[in-house]
Amino acid sequence: MSRRPLIAGNWKMHLTLSKAIELAQTVVTTCGKCTDRDIMIAPPFTSLAAVVATVRGSSIHVAAQNVSWEKEGAFTGEISPIMLNDLGVSMAIIGHSERRQLFGEDNDMINRKLHAALGAGITPIFCIGETLDDREAGGTLSVLETQLRKGLEHVTPKQLTGAVLAYEPVWAIGTGKTASKEQAQEIHGFLRGLLTGMYEKNIAETVRILYGGSVKPENIDDLMAQPDIDGALVGGAALNAESFERIIRFR
């Protein structure tokens, strides 16, 4: 089955309000009416509302970089999926390796966040990835399988339909090192196989699996030519309008 490619930009903790609006405007100019690919941008929370307003009327999706598993209450500093939905945010990055490594998020928390997002109508971009130590110890596949199974615990086939998974090897994030197209395809094929076993083939086929880790204009075409790579989650190169435009216009 054909899955519509998704090119997603994670702006991390970058850009003040005016710079975020400016960059969002360039993305709208580049691909605001594209129908053959989906584009998502994930600004910091402080710019979410303004970026939603900037892309209104276009086909660009806006995502949060994180979400609480709670609906509301005494949770200082947290943002609930209901609040995001209310703002017009349609997606949320969940389980990014920086959240796992720097902010102590574990598979259980990530599972709770996935359920909260799904319950509020927010499409999760569920990130998994192995560290360099995992890879060198030969543990890549088992680490990924654990992250996938635990993250998706009690997620129903209906909820999984149309969800987005991102394979982001931690050793490739922000390092300039990219997994080769063969390495990435091997893992994406493995993950789709796992999803097929956990759900059904026709459900697994609807899940878009993005690759993330030093994606740039120079490697996007090769990555996107792989059968199980359905898009990219882009960090550094998404902050530069020209680079992100070239990535959006992958060939």
Q: Are 125 and 210 in contact (CB under 8 A)?
A: yes
Q: Are 231 and 239 in contact (CB under 8 A)?
A: no
Name which position in 44, 95, 129, 212 contacts ligand PEP (CB under 6 A). Answer: 212
- Taking contact as CB under 6 A, which single stretch among the options 22-30, 116-124, 187-195, 227-235 is the one that binds ligand PEP? 227-235
H helix intervals, 80-219: 81-87, 97-102, 107-119, 132-136, 140-151, 157-160, 181-198, 201-204
Q: Is 20 in the site for ligand PEP (CB under 6 A)?
A: no
Which residue number, 43 or 212, has a Cβ lying nearer to ligand PEP?
Answer: 212
Q: Is 54 in the site for ligand PEP (CB under 6 A)?
A: no
**Count of H-run helices and E-run strands, the chain:** 12, 8
Q: Judge residue 8's burial from the number of C-beta atoms within 10 Å of its C-beta, 0-12 exposed, 13-18 middle, 19 or more buried.
A: buried
CA dist list (Å): 61 to 27, 53, 83? 11, 11, 16
Catalytic status, residue 205: no
Catalytic status, residue 188: no
- Residue of 61, 96, 115, 188 with catalytic role: 96
Q: Are 250 and 221 in contact (CB under 8 A)?
A: yes
- Taking contact as CB under 6 A, which single stretch among the options 77-85, 129-137, 200-208, 229-237 is the one that binds ligand PEP? 229-237
Name which position in 57, 119, 162, 174 contacts ligand PEP (CB under 6 A). Answer: 174
Q: Which residues pair with 208 in a beta bridge?
A: 164
Among 1, 13, 20, 51, residue whose Cα is nearest residue 236:
13
Which residue number, 171 or 199, has a Cβ lying nearer to ligand PEP?
Answer: 171
Which amino acid is located at 101 in the chain?
Q
Report, in Å, the least distance between residue 127 CB and ligand PEP. Answer: 7
Binding to ligand PEP in span 231-250, by CB under 6 A: 233-237
Our measurement of the distance from residue 112's CA atom to the centroid of its chain's CA atoms, rounded to an integer in Å, reads 17
Q: Are 39 and 233 in contact (CB under 8 A)?
A: no
Q: Are 108 and 82 in contact (CB under 8 A)?
A: no
Which residue number, 38 or 168, has a Cβ lying nearer to ligand PEP?
Answer: 168
- Taking contact as CB under 6 A, which single stretch among the options 22-30, 63-71, 188-196, 207-215 is the one that binds ligand PEP? 207-215
- Residue of 98, 105, 130, 168 with catalytic role: 168
Binding to ligand PEP in span 141-170, by CB under 6 A: 168
Name which position in 43, 95, 213, 231 contacts ligand PEP (CB under 6 A). Answer: 213
Active site residues: 96, 168
Footprint of ligand PEP on this chain (CB under 6 A)? 10, 168, 173-174, 212-215, 233-237
